Amino acid sequence: MKKFLLLIFLLALPQICFAQPYLTLSFQALDPFIRPGGETVVFVSLTNPGTKDIGRIRIYAYPGPYLNLSSNYFEISGLSPGSSQQISFNLKASSSAFPQNSYITIKAKYLVESVEKETSTAIPIAIRAEPLLQIENISLFPEPEPGKEVELSFLIYNFGQGSARDLTIRISQSEAFGVLSENEKFLNEIKPNEFKQVSFKLIIKPSTTSGIYSIPIYLSYKDELKVINYSTTKSIDLKISGSYRFLVYLKSQDFLTPNSKGNVEIKIVNAGNQEAKYLTLEIIPSHPFLEIFPSQIYVGSLNKDDYDTEKIGLKVGNALPNIYPLKIKISYEDAFGKSFEEEKTVYVKVYSLDEVKKLDTISPLALILIIFVVAISLYFWRKRKGK
């Protein structure tokens, strides 16, 4: 009896092995997951892999929990052997859905040689509440300057519908700055509509020139089910403004007397650590200078550790011999177009006629006497050395 049953099974085996399905269903979702309140499109392909015609195919779609379909019934007149046809429908997740794995059941009823047959499949749909992180309230204190240490702090805000978990925040140093202590921070979770503050210690490199640089902030995190990994880079502007320190000197002057004209030469030094652009000098009229020419001087750009000299003509009024202030207004801009103004003062001496005469008389004579004394001393020194 056992041998007889085995023989029947072996005779039926070729038919089982070579039997083909009449209708196959395959599917694809436009998006790998759908967020609460979000939509996507699902495509279902119906294929006839067999050798017989398929007639009147009725397709029913049954949504799982928290899912809604734009259409749940389709009908196809038929499929010839080896042919296929595709249907599609919109899928929307309920705004109240929480993260889970839902599904859509597709059931197809069709006719083969007037015999009704049926097949079905389940389409998995992942509902994920996606986190969405933004960097806000950026602060750099104190104001970044070459060689200074600053604290960078900011808020990471979650605008998304799901929590961000296992969040890593990292900063890499650049040509403009270095990172003091740790350059990586870790946060367990930022819930929706929640924010966390993060701070880093930076040092601006002394060789950094004024300008706007970028601080890249690398974020890596997971969704609240720790299934999906996210990574993104946010950029923060690093505005480095150097400091200015101008020194203004009276380099030389003519012998100015009351009711006379002459020149003074001033020297302006940029002792700060950044370039001054569109540098302009304005000589402010004051007693006893009746005329100033030119009253405005355009210098242009003046680099750090550089200087400029300018000659200014003055007409002195009827004034007593004395030392008088000459005020100079300095106007310039930094690399970002911010304007600055400051006022400097040099002191110009107005001589009496008697002082000028004495200086004119004594100076050449004193020079001759000095030369004579030096020559006599050198003569006797050589004579003594020769003995």
Reply yes or no on whether the pLDDT at 363 is more than 60.
no
- Average pLDDT value over all residues in the chain: 88
- Residue 261 shares a structural domain with residue 162: no
Residue 314 domain flag: yes
End-to-end CA distance of the chain: 151
What pLDDT was estimated at residue 33? 86
| Bridge pairing between strands 261-270 and 306-316 | antiparallel
Flag whether 378 is in a domain.
no
- Cβ contact 320:275 at 8 Å: no
Query: Residue 335 has which token pair?
Result: 């690399």
Tokens of 161: 């519908």
Say yes or no: 39 and 117 in one domain.
yes
Which of 303, 284, 301 is CA-nearest to residue 292? 284
Phi–psi pair at 113, nearest 5 degrees: 55, 45
Low-confidence winner among 6-10, 78-82, 290-294 (lowest mean pLDDT)? 6-10
Q: What pLDDT sits at residue 241? A: 83
Pairwise CA distance, residues 333 & 372, whole Å: 55
Do 262 and 313 lie in one domain? The reply is yes
Q: Is residue 305 part of a domain?
A: yes
Percent with pLDDT over 90 in the chain: 71
- Domain for residue 380, yes or no? no
Hey, what amino acid is at 363? S
DSSP string, 238-304: EEE-----EEEEEEEE--B-TT-EEEEEEEEEE-SSS-EEEEEEEEPP-TTEEEEESSEEEEEEE-T
Indicate whether 78 belongs to any domain: yes
Residue 37 forms part of a structural domain: yes
Do 234 and 254 belong to one domain? no
Q: What percent of the chain has pLDDT over 70?
A: 87
**SS3 assignment, position 77:** strand
32 plus 79 within the same structural domain? yes
Q: Write out pLDDT tens, residues 232-275.
A: 999 999 999 888 999 999 999 999 999 999 999 999 999 988 89
Please report whether residue 359 resides in a domain.
no
Burial 252-279 (b: 16+ CB within 10 A, else e): ebeebbeebebebebebbbebbbbbeeb
Domain residue limits at 173:
133-240
CATH code assigned at 181: 2.60.40.10
Q: How confident is the model at residue 99, as a pLDDT?
A: 86
CA distances from 206 to 147, 175, 355 (A): 4, 11, 51
> For residue 77, is it left (φ>0), alpha (ψ between -120 and 50) or beta?
alpha
Residue 309 tokens read as: 């000299």
267-276, 280-289, 314-323, 373-382: range with lowest mean pLDDT? 373-382
User: Positive or negative, the Cα torsion across 110, 113, 115, 119?
Assistant: negative
Domain boundary among 240, 275, 305: 240
- Domain stop point among 215, 240, 265: 240
3-state secondary structure of 371: helix
**CA pair distance 269, 254, nearest whole angstrom:** 22
Distance CA 48, CA 50 (A): 6
Helix (H) or strand (E) holding 5: helix 2-18
Q: Report CA-CA distances (Å) from 79 to 114, 117, 118, 142.
A: 14, 14, 15, 74
pTM (2 d.p.): 0.60
**Residue 222 and residue 287 in one domain:** no
> Which two tokens mark 215?
């601080």
128, 34 in Cβ contact below 8 A? Answer: yes
**Residue 350 to residue 358: CA distance in whole angstroms:** 15
Residue 379: the pLDDT is 53
**Which of 89, 107, 127 is the endpoint of a domain?**
127
Contact 237, 217 (CB under 8 A): no
Which tokens is 363 given? 């100076």
What domain count does the chain have? 3
Give the number of C-alpha atoms closer than 13 A to the C-alpha of residue 69, restricted to the C-beta side.
20
Side-chain half-sphere CA neighbours of 378 within 13 A: 6
Residue 362 lies inside a defined structural domain of this protein: no
Evaluate whether 314 touches 287 at the Cβ level (below 8 Å).
no
